[in-house]
Amino acid sequence: MKLSEIAEFLGLEYKGEDVKITALNSLLRANFTELSYCDGEKNAKDIANTGAAAILVGKEYESLVPKDTKALISPNPHLSFAFVSKLFAKPLFSEVRVQNIAKSAKIMPNVYLGNNIHIGENVIIMAGAFVGDNVSIGDESVIHPNVVIYNDSIIGKKCHLLANCVIGSDGFGYAHNKNGEHHKIYHNGNVILEDFVEIGACTSIDRAVFDSTIIKAGTKVDNLVQIGHNCQVGQNCIIIAQTGLSGSTQLGRNVIMGGQSATSGHLKIGDFSTIAARGGVSKNLEGGRVYGGFPIMLQKDWLKLQAKIAMKFKDKN
């Protein structure tokens, strides 16, 4: 679409030189044909370094926009971006069926196979699975019954996806208007599972807004886990049942997340960390330590605190 058409669609004023917009992207990854946005102070620092053709931006940050980038002024750039994301959302399926399926692959009845898929040697796909367009499944991977693999997902070699897990669903992202109504942000990224990854039953891994949600080689994810959009999980991590990772969380290698633990978004947990069961991570954590409780602290300090509270309560009674 032309930038002038996007401005008209959003009801925004734009009188500058027109440019063709081919896609949406983040400030630091956008190129000269892509539209990005700045929704506030937290990413305003990235405006000066963007290569985007245009940016949806508030009036207060207009002066930061580079001279080669067009500024599309919006009173609510986040909401405007949500509206535009629908225009660039990819179709859910294609009527065409061009497929590259290895002869050694075993595919059971009632499996849906999309367009432009690649299925490697000795892959097993069990009954009821959905494999969307542009999906790649590496050699010797096993897809159990009723697994959903949405468009553009990449599954490595020797992965195991257990029953009813969902790979590449839309992330939980909304923009809000003045009336408190929620408008969906369409996610156009994907999910990448590297080699030797196992995903438990009924676990959901959301696709990225842009770019990729990545689960690196050797990581094992238990049942009933939620991994949000744009997360990056390092090699050989262990994530136990009912854990939740909020969007853009980054785990280093060999991180262990105990059952019912969780993170807030946009934080980093260092290599070889352990989060005890029900630990609530609300800040960046150094690697090589065991943490627990909420607010998160060293597990040994959490245990001492609980002992003191118990003693205090006992004394009062």
Is the preceding omega at residue 295 within 30 degrees of 0, hence cis? yes
Half-sphere exposure of 267 (CA within 13 A, CB side): 16
- What is the tens place of the pLDDT at every residue in 6-23? 999 999 999 888 999 999
> Whole-angstrom Cα distance, residue 273 to residue 261?
13
Could you list the active site residues? Answer: 229
CB atoms within 10 A of CB 132: 23
> Whole-angstrom Cα distance, residue 233 to residue 5?
39
- What is the tens place of the pLDDT at every residue in 117-155? 999 999 999 999 999 999 999 999 999 999 999 999 999
For residue 278, what are its two tokens? 């029900």
- pTM of the predicted structure, to 2 decimals: 0.94
Sign of the dihedral through C-alpha 103, 106, 110, 112 = negative
> Which stretches in the chain have pLDDT values below 70?
317
